[in-house]
Amino acid sequence: MKFRAEIDVMPLDALLDPQGKAVTGSMKTVGLEMIDGVRIGKHIRLFVDADSKDTAAVKVEEACVKLLSNQIMESYSYTLEEA
Amino acid sequence: MKFRAEIDVMPLDALLDPQGKAVTGSMKTVGLEMIDGVRIGKHIRLFVDADSKDTAAVKVEEACVKLLSNQIMESYSYTLEEA
């Protein structure tokens, strides 16, 4: 079976996010001063071939740890659905 | 009221995504050959002050169009919840 994973990789709350801070500032410039607290990370979509959703989840975890996120600076979360 | 928006900005399906393609290749290298079709975009979290969810949605749309996405190359989607 084929599963689709939607993964979010975000900077840890304890860390500064200069890109997000710059965008928060720009919101004021374009007249959107009611928006704040912008934080910017990555969104990753991928497909996994696996026998079950549980097996697919193990593979997605492994991909997040080995390649997709830097756990010193980032946290990840994901959802998994049959594609 | 304060609302939290979780926004995904992804490269359009019709366009190549060289970063995603490189990561798909790297999956094989780390023994995750069952993973393919990786596409990489941005995930943005922000907060909106608004009287209602509808008003907040209008502001988030405006932020996506004016600042957060390039509609020639990217599509966006979001979810909105009371924070």
How far apart CA A15 and CA A20 sit, in angstroms, is 11
- Taking the CA of residue B73 and the nearest CA in chain A, the distance in Å comes to 16
**Average pLDDT over all residues of chain A:** 97
Share of chain A above pLDDT 90, in %: 99
- The answer to whether B59 contacts A34, with C-beta atoms less than 8 Å apart, is yes
- The answer to whether A38 contacts B45, with C-beta atoms less than 8 Å apart, is yes
Q: What is the pLDDT of residue A49?
A: 97
Contact yes or no for A72/A2 (Cβ under 8 A): no
A62 three-state secondary structure: helix
Q: Which of A6, A38, A66 sits opposite B46 (nearest CB)?
A: A38
Q: What is the pLDDT of residue A42?
A: 98
A12 in contact with chain B, both atoms CB, cutoff 8 A = no
Share of chain A above pLDDT 70, in %: 100
Q: Which fold has domain B2-82?
A: Mth169; Chain: A , (3.30.1280)
How far apart CA B17 and CA A20 sit, in angstroms, is 23
Q: How far is CA A70 from CA A37, A41, A63, A73, B82, in A?
A: 22, 12, 11, 6, 29
DSSP A34: T
B contact test, residue of A4, A12, A29, A35 with most B CBs within 10 A: A35
Q: What is the pLDDT of residue A17?
A: 96
A contact test, residue of B46, B49, B76 with most A CBs within 10 A: B46
**pLDDT 10s digits, A43-65:** 999 999 999 999 999 999 999 99
Q: Looking at residues B9-22, what average pLDDT do you find?
A: 96
**pLDDT 10s digits, B16-53:** 999 999 999 999 999 999 999 999 999 999 999 999 99
Domain map of chain B by residue range?
Answer: 2-82
A1 in contact with chain B, both atoms CB, cutoff 8 A = no
Q: What is the pLDDT of residue A38?
A: 98
Q: What is the pLDDT of residue A79?
A: 97
How far apart CA A53 and CA B32 sit, in angstroms, is 16
Write out the H or E segment, with its range, that includes residue A40.
Answer: strand A35-49
A67: confidence class by pLDDT, cuts 50, 70, 90: very high
According to DSSP, the residues that pair with A40 across neighbouring strands are B44
Contact residues, chain B, for A48 at CB < 8 Å: 34-35
Share of chain B above pLDDT 70, in %: 100
